[in-house]
Each structure stands twice: as structure tokens, then as C-alpha cells.
Structure 1
Amino acid sequence: MEVCMNRRTFLAAGALSASAAQPAAVRVGIIGCGWWGGVNLRAAYQEGGVTCVSLCDADSKMLDDMAAIVEKQEGRRPRLFKHYEEMLDAGGLDAVILATPPHWHALPFIAACRRKLAIYSEKPLAYDIREGRAMVDAWKKAGNVVQVGFQRRQSPAFAAAGDYIRGGAPGRVVQVDVNIHYTAVPLDNTPQAPPPTLDWDLWCGPAPKLPYSPNVGHRAWRLEETTGNGHLVDWGIHLIDATRVMLGLGMPKKVTAAGGIYHYKGRITTPDTLTAHFEFDPCPVVWRHRLWGAVERDPEFSNGVTVFCEKETVFVTDQRWIVLPKGKDAQRRVEEIKPPADLSRKHVGEFLECVRASRPAPCTPEDAFRSTATVQLGMIAWKAGRTIEWDERGERIPNDAAANAMLKREYRAPYRHPWSGRA
């Protein structure tokens, strides 16, 4: 049979072929439409191949503001929801970006797993350790694609420093210091009426319902014990996770923490000054932070990971790593490695690639659980005021009933904690 194809039909056929070759856009819903939810949405748009179908938040202003971003980008308005269950039940999604404060991670995460949706969840994995285990179990049962927001896993500097240390040139790792100097700016903590657009009861969710103040509301929840659980959990977790990955560490056997609220007494509820000692195999990792004051002993090394080895010391931060040899006249080596794109964008992009390819994401809930539980144990040790041990196999704090009880926080009614095991 003779086939006749003119120029018009040839071009049309080519267009159809190209269209068929392009993968369908990943249909995304966002739970938590504040500042960081917006960062993740913009990162997804920059990576391309996504459409934002649904938004969910307890604050109608946040919903409207993010809907305007979607409308500007896509020329249409997404569906808006106040309750995550309604958004998930409405369907039409391939993936969920979870960008709420930590106290609102577990329940929507597990609900999305039950629907076998792909999930990009911000760190920490969970608010408490028992939540984290329930989330890992839900992920294992569902087999869905999940990426947790440890963006420093995208840093070429951390990867290169890790390769150098594992290569053996610096000698045996003796100790690791992890620290950041950050000047906090607590907001007004006077109890007051919440904004009319904000459902404060829903925002508090399973956490205790505190009186509203700007100091525990949007973007200010990080240093509030009941929602963000402090600087170690909020920011320290990034560098603790990077250290674990760089050195291939599991979880600590013992944890000791000391510090307090010295400068911002009466204004925040977690330490503004803290040292936490994590006893890993094969070396201790020491975290330090101070949220006040303007002077650092050495600003060059004020934010990052310092690996003290027998022959050399290696310092690494997001965009550079430095080798400091022993010896009076030894020359230090500085390696500047700027990532090709913003770390957050790269991490979201990696997640989207995994969703399209239906392959597991590198930063799994199981490994995210280890980093999350590590910093949470640091806070438990600080609250307990003593050294605690960690039985990793049994996931318990032995011989310390009071500290062990802190592995799980009771939920506020009518919410139910997702962990069903024994304490």
C-alpha cells in the first residue's frame, strides 16, 4: 500500500510523536504553604515538569498567597484546602510536598503513604522518635517514593571531603566538631488573638495548644519546644546528617548534653546555648551552638563540620572544604566547590526524577530516621540533665524510664499518635 504524506501531515505527526515522548507533568500537592513551602514550590518549577494541583494550609492568607504564585506560573488557580485529609481524598495527585512545622509531619505523611503517593518531606522526619518509627513503617508498607529534606546531601564539598577522609590521607578520625553561630531574633511573645485568617487550633494540631503569639506562629516556631524543638533539631540536624553520611555513621550509643537559656530567658523555650556529645562508633561527634552575641573566635569556621584526624584536620561547609595539616610550616589546602544549582533545588529535582522513574529516592525515611532520632536524643539528654544510652536494636533508652518516656509525646485530643508499639 502506498502511503502519501504531505508536509502538513508530516509536521503534525512529528508534533504528536514529540508530545508522546515527553513525560507527563508530576501532579503535586503542597501541605504547608508558608515560607519554606514556597521555596520548595519555586524549586519544583525551576526543575520543570510539574503542575501544582492542590494546596493545603491552616491559614487562608498563606493559601491565597501561594495560589497566586501557581496562577502566575501556570495560568490557573489550584484547588485550596484547609484539611490535608480532604486534599488527599480529592485525588488527582502523584506527589505531596510536606512543608509544615515538625509537629504536623507524621499524620499527613502516613496518610499520603496509605494512598501510595510520592512524598517530599522536610526535615526533621518527625517531631518525636516514636512518630518517626511509625512513619518509616508506613513507608515500608507502601513502597512509595520518599525523599526527606537533607539538602546538604547535594553538596559537592561534603561529598569530596568525605571521599578524601575515607581515602585515608588524614589518618584515623579521632573526633568531629559540628557547630554554627546564629543570632536569633525572638519576636513578640505576648499572648494575643491570632490573625483572622489563621485557624490556630488546627495549626497547633496534635501539639499542646499554646496561646498564640508571633513568637510561636509562622516562621517563628523553630525555637518553641512544643513545635520545633530547638536549634539542634531545626538546624543542627543538617550538619549532623551530613556528618553521618560523610563518615558512614549509624546512631550514637550514648548522648550527653549541657546548656540552657541564658540570653533569651523568658523569650524562648529551648536552649540558646548548647553542647551535645554523641558517642558514635568509631568516634565522638560534638555539637555546639550559641544563638546570641556578635563575635566568633574565627568566623571562617563558624558554620560547618571539623573532622579531627591523626595526621590532618578537615573542615567542610556547603561550598568549600579545607585541609589543615600538622606542623608549623605546613600549608593548608582550600578547595572551593560551588554547586551547579541551589542545594534545595537540586534536592527537589532529584526527588522529581525519582518520581518520574519510579525508583527509590536516595534520602530514605529509614536513614532520615537515624539523623532525626540522633538530634532528638540530644534534646532528651538535655531535658533529662544526664547522659543517656541508646539501644538501637530495641529503639529504647535502657535503665531510664523517665528519659525513655520522652521518646513519645502524647497527642492532644482528638488526635491519635500513630505509633502502636510498647514504650
Structure 2
Amino acid sequence: MEGTRSHAVPSGANGNSVTAFLLSVPSGPAKPPAMNPFNRRHFLGAAALGAAALSTLRSRAADAPAPAAPRTVKLGLIGCGWWAMVNAKGAYKAGGAQVIAICDIDSANLETTAVEIEKIQGSRPLTFKLYEDLLAVTGLEAVIISTPPQWHALPFIAAVNRGIDVFCEKPLAYDIREGRAMVDAAAKSKSVVQIGFVRRQSAAFQAVRQFIAEDKLGRIINVDAQINFTAGTASAVPVAPPPSLDWDHWCGPGPLIPYSPQVGHRNWRLEQTSGQGHLYDWGIHLIDATRFILGETSPTAISATGGIYRLKDKITTPDTLTVQFEFARCPVTWRHRLWGSAELTPEFNNGIFFYGEKGTVFVTDQRWVFLPNGKGAERQVNETKSDLVPLHVAEFLDAVRHRKPVSATVAEAHLSTSAVKLAMIAYETGARLAWDAKSEQITNHPEAAKLLKRAYRAPWKHPYAG
């Protein structure tokens, strides 16, 4: 956790507005009190002694050996889009990483990434189209999987079956049965696995977790997690895919859909057959953070409502969505809107509100705010700074070297991914779903239960045997 800076903001006439609640007022430096002559002589004497001691410490520090550089971990990249390079640069910033092999089914992406990596590390990685060939490279220790969700399960399982360590992007899987197969495969191996829930590295989220654990908010009554922003879209008119892209392989085990810029690189996140929409792709970060903060596991029931109200003929997942997760500790409500005003407030477009008996806490990536109950209560605004991706990748690399635990395990990721998948099933069926987490079954809706595992397109085979 990195440093936290906090200051109090008194309640004013706008105390009930969200904007006022999140207002941050920087405090200027206070004028120091005058120093009397005795204190001045005492201070100067102490300062002289302190300077001498500091000089001695600096001399000793100069003679001390420099800390050893971390052992270099030999990495492979499965998927070479823009986010793959964000993860790779996180590894370089962490230190002690060398990318020795990369693969992608778009030859243009593959070459662009190979050139960029060579510029950074001074050596060109081996390049492959298929992940199977990459996993066979001698000396490969770990892989970073930065593909769309329909291409998480198969390379993940193949890697851990070889004893290769895995950093895999969120969501864990496309469907819940894939996720279960991934958890089981990892449990049978000795591989270190970290899933890309980078907000577990946020000093703000960690502080709120501690704050609630110390009962400073009292009983939590309700939680609201939300995001509002204007989604970018591209043409949804089917066209021929770029010559560099093997589109059939990109669709993989999912259905072969017509290519358009709207469902290709970057924009696939809002396509039902790959990204499954904004809650599944991005909102999962806040659902995972909510679970992390509350110490929750799985919801017992889920309902959802929404639709495509603004972006019809552009996307295939809801641009407006409300989900109710019924957790044991309290209900959690998710909301998103991908059109209209881009921000939740003038400062934030996403965050989580925890409503407790003693007040309300709002938290986002680099800030959290506490508003105690009571007229005239002071808001406590806490600003933090955490470089999320490099911290998360650094934790993974350290675990690879020293076989240490990680913060975002495959089992934890399966719980968060299952929750948002159930939300999307509830949206698709229009039903309130009852969920038995122990058996991983929807118990009240046979048609919805069929969506826990999707049919794979030949020649690929679903990894879940049940």
C-alpha cells in the first residue's frame, strides 16, 4: 500500500449532494509559531548533533552493498493487443522480466508488439501464431494472457498443465463452467496464478477494507457500485476482416460471427459473444472490490433489468443496466449507463458507496471519502496513490520467484466472474435467479441453468467435463 493523504471538509449547505460529498478542499501550509530564544538555542544544538549523526549514517549507507537485482523471469505473452503491452510494461517497471516469446492470431499485432519489446529490452522475442507453440518454448517460466474472454480458459489450462505460471486478465472465463475447470486445473498444478484484478492493489480500497473491518462504519446496510461514461463505438456494418487477422480463429470456441470494426479489436468488449458487456468487462473490477472489502463470497440471488436504449444497432449488450446482488452481509446494487453525461460527478465516473449505520463511505481508485452521520459532521477526504498494474504484475513476478501467495487467486477470480455472469444470465432471462454456490447451480430456473456452460464450436472442446 502506498501513502495516504487526508483532510477534513466541513459540511455545508450542499451537504446532501453527491458533488459536495466528494468535494476535496486542499489545505494550505499553516504559519509556524514564533520560536523563543531558549527554544532556538536548544533547536540549533539538536540540529548540529542531528547533522553529525546523519553524516555518519550516510557514510555507512554508502559503504553498504546495493540490494541484489531480482532474478529475471522469462515471460511469454499470449495476445498482443494494446493491453498486452500495458501488462508487459508493468513487468518491465517492476523489474526482473524478459519477454522471450509472444503469440497472436493477428500478424500485424504480432509484429508491432515484437518491435516494441525489442526496443524496450534490446532483444527480439520469438513470435508465434498459436499459443500451443509458445508454451513449448524452452525456458519459458510464465505467461501473461491478455486475450478476449473466449480465449482465456484453453491457454490457461494448457499452461498450468505444463507447470507454467500464469497471469491472466479478468474476467477469468467466458462461462462459469470454464471457470470451474480453470480452478480445478490450477489446483492440480504447482503453478502460481494471478488474475488481473488490479484494484486489489489500490491503497484506497485497502484502506476502506480496514476501515469497515474495524467497525468504523457499523453494520453495512447497502452498497451501490456504479459507472457512467460515453462508450465509443465503431461501424457495425459487416466487412471483410483485415488480411492480417485470422477471424475464424479469433472467434474461437464461440460462434463465428460476421466481422465488423465494432466487434473486432478493442470494441469486442460490448459484444455478447466475446466481451459480454460493460459489467462483465469493466464493472467486474468494482464487484470484485466490493467482495474484497466486505469479505463476501457469492450472492444467493441475482436479478437484473436494463436494455439497449441509446446504442441500438451498435452493440449487443445493455447500454443501461441495474443488477441486484443479494449477498449474506447486505444487498449490492450495480448500475451502469454508457451514454449521456460522461461522469457520475464532476470528479468521478465510477466508484462504490458503502452505506452503514455510522455513515457513508465512497471509494474510487485513488480516493476515499467518509461522511459520518449527524448534522454538521465533517467529511474525511483521503487521497491515495497506487500504480495499479505495475504493483499487480510485480506481486505476480515476486510470487513466481519465491512461490508466494498472490492477492487475486484463481479461486477468488472465479467467485467474482461467476457473480457477473449470473447477472448477465438474469438480464437475458428476465428472472430472479437463486444460486447455490456450493454446488454452483441455479436452483430455480432450468432454462437459465443451461447458460452456465455454452456450447463450443468445433474443433475446440469445452474443458469442463460435467
Q: Does 1:54 pair with 2:101? A: yes
Alignment-derived partner of residue 298 in structure 1: 345
Contact 2:308 2:317 in 1 (8 A): yes
Change (3 A) 1:301 1:80: closer
Q: Name the SS for the 2:452 alignment partner.
A: coil
In the TM superposition, structure 1's runs of 4+ consecutive aligned residues that sit over 6 Å from their partners are none
- Residue 298 of structure 1 deviates from its aligned partner by 3.2
* TM-score for both structures, normalised by structure 2: 0.84
When residues 302 and 70 of structure 1 are mapped into structure 2, their CA distance, relative to the original with a 3 A threshold, is closer
Deviations 1:81-133 (A, max 9, x none): 00111111233200000000000000000000110101000000001000000
- Does residue 251 of structure 2 align to residue 204 of structure 1? yes
Amino acid at match of 1:382: Y
Are the structure 2 counterparts of residues 315 and 23 from structure 1 closer, same or farther at C-alpha, using a change threshold of 3 Å?
closer
The answer on whether the counterparts of 1:29 and 1:97 sit within 8 Å (CA) in structure 2 is yes
Structure 1 residue 374 displacement after superposition:
0.5
3-state secondary structure, aligned to 1:286: strand
Whether the 8 Å contact between 2:69 and 2:96 is mirrored in structure 1 is no
In 1, Cα distance between equivalents of 2:342 and 2:437: 39
Distance 2:229 2:284 in 1: 14
Q: Distance in 1 between matches of 2:444 and 2:241?
A: 43
Match of 1:7 in 2: none
Distance 1:117 1:297, change over 3 A: closer
| Aligned equivalent of 1:276 | 323
1:278-310, Cα deviation, whole Å (9 max, x unpaired)? 000110000000000026563445410100001
Deviation for aligned residue 1:154 = 0.3
Deviation at 1:23, TM superposition (A): 5.1
Aligned to 1:213: 260
Equivalent residue, structure 2, for 1:367: 412
Is contact 2:304–2:324 with CA below 8 Å preserved after alignment?
yes
Shift of 1:208: 0.7
Q: What TM-score, normalized to structure 1?
A: 0.93
Distance 2:347 2:353 in 1: 12
How far apart are the structure 2 equivalents of 1:94 and 1:59? 24
In the other structure, the counterpart of 1:9 is none
Q: How many Å separate the matches in 1 of 2:127 and 2:349?
A: 42
Deviations 1:229-259 (A, max 9, x none): 0000111100000110011011000000000
Within 5 Å, which residues of 2 pair with 1:184-199? Answer: 184-199=231-246
Q: Name the aligned partner's letter for residue 205 of structure 1.
A: G
Corresponding residue for 2:288?
Answer: 241
- Cα-to-partner distance string for 1:7-62 (whole Å, 9 max, x where unaligned): xxxxxxxxxxx99x655410000001001101011111111111111000010111
* Structure 2 unpaired stretches of 5+: 1-64
Q: Does residue 251 of structure 1 match 2:284?
A: no
Q: Distance in 1 between matches of 2:107 and 2:276?
A: 26
Q: Confirm or deny that 1:386 pairs with 2:402.
A: no
Q: In the alignment, what sits opposite 1:357? A: 402
Matched residue, 1:325: 372
- SS, match of residue 232 in structure 1: helix
Q: Say which of 181, 192, 213 aligns to 1:166.
A: 213
Report what 1:121 is aligned to. Answer: 168
Per-residue CA distance 1:181-240 (angstroms, 9 max, x = gap)? 111011111111111111111111111111111101111100000000000011110000
Letter of the structure 2 residue corresponding to residue 315 of structure 1: F
Quote the offset at 1:168 in angstroms: 1.1
Q: Structure 1: give runs of 5+ residues left out of the alignment.
A: 1-17
In 2, distance between residues paired with 1:368 and 1:348?
16
Counterpart in the other structure of 1:91:
138
Counterparts of residues 123-142 of structure 1 (less than 5 Å): 123-142=170-189
Q: Which amino acid aligns with 2:135?
A: L
Q: Is the 8 A contact 1:301 1:315 kept in 2?
A: no
Displacement, 1:328? Answer: 2.9
For 2:406, the aligned partner's letter is A
- Number of the residue aligned with 2:111: 64
